Amino acid sequence: MPNISRDEVAHLARLARLAVTDEELDLFAGQLDAILEAVAAVGDVATDDIPPTSHAVPLTNVFRADEVRPGLGQQQALAGAPFPEEGRFRVPRILGEEA
């Protein structure tokens, strides 16, 4: 069973450049101890006859097939534009630059 000392917590705090109080050292030591015990328990459960997986359930591709379809022509695309100009969308100038 892991047992984290106050000195180890203080060392970790220094490495992380965290300012911690004496009360926090005791609190963090207990919390880190609980975390390490939980990780050790998970390690005890794993067996050699279970293959590693990346997901808990099998995944399938949910995307549709990529098929080429005709798109809009220039006139169709510009049909709903309020102020088309020279075959393009006209938008307000926002940067004040010269055209």
Q: Could you tell me if 32 and 4 are in contact, meaning their C-beta atoms sit under 8 angstroms apart?
A: yes
CB atoms near residue 28 (< 10 Å): 19
pLDDT score, position 13? 94
pLDDT given at position 22: 92
| The domain defined by 6-45 carries CATH number 4.10.260 | no
pLDDT in tens, 31-68: 999 999 988 888 777 677 777 778 888 888 888 888 99
Estimate the crossing angle of helix 6-15 against helix 22-45, to 10 degrees: 100
Which pLDDT band, with edges at 50, 70 and 90, does 95 fall under? confident
Residue 19 has pLDDT above 90, yes or no: yes
